[in-house]
Amino acid sequence: MGGAQGWVSCFLFLMKNKFADLLPGRVSTEPEDLVCYGFDASGLEAAPSAVAWPHSLEDVVEIMNFARSNRIPVIPRGAGTGMTGGSVPDRSSVVVSMERMNRVLGIDRDNMTVLVEPGVINGHLQRELERFRLFYPPDPASMNFCTIGGNVAENAGGPRALKYGVTRDYVLGLEAVLPDGSVIKTGVKTAKGVVGYDLTRLLTGSEGTLAVITKILLRVLPMPEEVITLMALFKDLEQSGNAVTAILAYGIIPRTLEFMDGEAVRAVENFSPVGLPTDVEAILLIELDGDPVVIRKEAERISSICSHHQGEIIMAEDEEARQKIWEARRAISPALYHLKPAKINEDIVVPRTKIPSMLKKLRELSEESGIMIVCFGHAGDGNIHVNIMADKENKPEYEKALGLVKEVFRMTLDLGGTISGEHGVGLTKKDYIGMEISPVEMDLMKKIKNVFDPLNILNPGKIFP
Ligand code: MLT
Ligand code: ZN
């Protein structure tokens, strides 16, 4: 038997026998499980050799010890909603799904913290906290499916990031298992803490490449008193971008300032209609929260700014109307996948004042290339989801679309932006990170990876080209 082939057989033998014996009932090598745990929302897929579902810290330690002794790559996974292939294997490996470690371990109302296991679903946590009049702001579009562990690994954002920041702004401390099987506890339980390097921040957003997170202590906030939801409809794309800049320049920070272009609106109305007007070129979805008197005044000011930019304002009448609008917003990505299953979705960020020029450049790029580009996203943050609507079956078109990705990144960086605001690097962006990160910084990052994981067994092949 040849070297590589022999190694694969030996690997599969180890998985089916020794690894399965290690955690009875918590490991599978059944083909249907391997298929189900081999993809994420990036559209990439590659089946692992085994899937493990740890129930406890001790299970994770066992898995890491076994993986280290046998040099088996481990891929931590939340709910598989990531958009850059972070939980998709790129070689024979074990996917470690954290979904069964899904308990909310304690809500401390007085200290405004919550301790959770990584498999807790974001939306479930939000609802649990509501019962105590508490609020956890990060709200990725997949909040009803994605896990807090995945959110921490990817440093997830969401519409409310404009006012409240992203996941890392809420992570106080972590418990995690290192690739050598040792357990670390990072961070503090207190509002402040500056002892030593900030390992909590280092692990947050490390895309599962440095440690497997087993517990998360989050900071939470009091529930805002009232929320107002507005939609501003525009017949002109650039005017919507100008309105975004004007609202923020006026000094109002809404909790969301979301943007969808006309194509995104039409796609979502065709996919799961909620009654959004389809004869528009852009919609802004603006939400304010806080003191009722203050936010009513802000809503009036926003209405007049939008009117000044030829926008028409509609206010959501009640909670049902609000929920419908948000359902539509969260359905944009699925609606676009429905149209073009191989669409390329980027999440670039430009300084918010550059939004109008970025939107103009993207429109020009679409016209020149003949490939539809649909844009939506978190306009208040300057974070635009650029969806290049190419067909994989049409090879020349797909090749051209891949070329456009590089062009979009170049335009973004020229405007002082970054190539990823919330989806991370994973597999899909690793060939591009050299456009943004200098060789010196890249080398430093690789050395950090090597300190944590000298055998390169934790989510190998991700982030670095
Ligand atoms: C969103 O804002 O809807 C998510 O980041 C997902 C996406 O970009 O498609
Ligand atoms: Zn987003």
Mapped onto helix, strand or coil, the DSSP state of residue 120 is coil
Ligand 1, atom 3: closest residue by C-alpha: 141
Residues 250 and 216 in one domain: no
Q: Is 42 in the pocket of ligand 1 (CB under 6 A)?
A: no
Per-chain mean pLDDT for the chain: 95
User: How confident is the model at residue 4, as a pLDDT?
Assistant: 64
Tell me, yes or no, whether 116 and 211 share the same domain: yes
Indicate if 190 and 253 belong to the same structural domain. Answer: no
Q: 107: CA distance to ligand 2 center in Å?
A: 28
Q: List all residues 6 or more positions away from 360 whose beta carbon is below 8 Å from its beta carbon.
A: 238
Task: Judge if 115 and 206 occupy the same domain.
Answer: yes
Q: How confident is the model at residue 18 (pLDDT cuts 50, 70, 90)?
A: confident
Give yes or no for residue 396 having a pLDDT over 90. yes
What is the 3-state composition of the chain as percent helix, strand, coil, each rounded to the nearest 5? Answer: 40, 20, 40
| Residue at 164 is within a domain | yes
Domain count, the chain: 3
**How many A from CA of 333 to the centre of ligand 1?**
6
Give me the residues paired with residue 106 across strands. Answer: 115
Q: Tell me, yes or no, whether 189 and 278 share the same domain.
A: no
Q: Identify the pLDDT of residue 15.
A: 77
What confidence tens digit (pLDDT) does each residue in 89-140 have? Answer: 999 999 999 999 999 999 999 999 999 999 999 999 999 999 999 999 999 9
Which amino acid is it at 400? K
Q: Is residue 191 part of a domain?
A: yes
Share of the chain above pLDDT 70, in %: 98
| 72 Cα–ligand 1 center, Å | 32
Mean pLDDT of all residues in 427-431? 97
For residue 293, the CA-to-ligand 2 centroid distance in Å is 30
Q: Give yes or no for residue 11 having a pLDDT over 80.
A: no
Ligand 1 geometric centre to CA of 279 (Å): 23
At residue 12, does pLDDT exceed 90? Answer: no
pTM: 0.96
* Closest Cα to atom 8 of ligand 1: 385
Is the CB of 347 inside a 6 Å radius of any atom of ligand 1?
yes
Q: Is 194 exposed, middle or buried (0-12, 13-18, 19+ CB in 10 A)?
A: exposed
Q: Which two tokens stand for residue 249?
A: 């320049």
**Among the bound ligands, the one closest to the CA of 161:** 2
Q: Are residues 90 and 145 in the same domain?
A: no
Q: Whose CA is nearest to atom 4 of ligand 1?
A: 141
| Domain stop point among 311, 331, 351 | 331
Q: Do residues 214 and 204 share a domain?
A: yes
Say if 344 falls within a structural domain: no
Residue 129, domain member (yes or no): yes
Residues 155 and 204 sit within 8 Å (Cβ to Cβ) = yes
Domain that holds residue 159: 104-222
Q: What is the CATH number of the domain that holds 76?
A: 3.30.43.10
pLDDT category at 286 given cuts 50, 70, 90 is very high
What pLDDT, on a 0 to 100 scale, did the predictor assign at position 241? 92
Structural domain contains residue 377: no
Select from 43, 75, 97 the last residue of a domain.
97
Amino acid 21: pLDDT: 85
Residues forming beta bridges with residue 293, ordered by sequence position = none
What is d(CA 427, CA 463) in angstroms, rounded to the nearest whole number? 6
- Is 207 inside any structural domain? yes
CA distance 420 to 382: 11
Task: Return the HEC string of 152-174.
Answer: HHHCCCCCCHHHHCCHHHCEEEE
- For residues 46, 49, 53 and 58, what is the CA-based torsion angle, rounded to 10 degrees? -130
Q: Is residue 202 part of a domain?
A: yes
| pLDDT tens readout for residues 367-392 | 999 999 999 999 999 999 999 999 99
Closest CA to 82 of 143, 38, 40, 142: 40
10 Å CB burial of residue 354 (0-12, 13-18, 19+) is buried
Please check whether residues 211 and 233 belong to one and the same domain: no
388 within some domain: no
DSSP string, 310-377: TEEEEE--SHHHHHHHHHHHHTHHHHHHHH-TT-EEEEEE--GGGHHHHHHHHHHHHHHHT--EEEEE
pLDDT score for 3: 65
Residue whose CB lies within 8 A of the most ligand 1 atoms, among 40, 285, 333, 374, for a mutation test: 333
Domain match, 154 and 184 both: yes
Lowest model confidence (mean pLDDT) among 19-33, 220-234, 277-291: 19-33
Domain boundary among 40, 63, 97: 97
For residues 20-37, average pLDDT: 93
313-369 per-position pLDDT tens digit = 999 999 999 999 999 999 999 999 999 999 999 999 999 989 999 999 999 999 999
Q: Is the CB of 151 under 6 A from ligand 1?
A: no
CATH code of the domain covering residue 120: 3.30.465.10
Residues 195 and 281 in one domain: no
Give the pLDDT of residue 22. Answer: 85
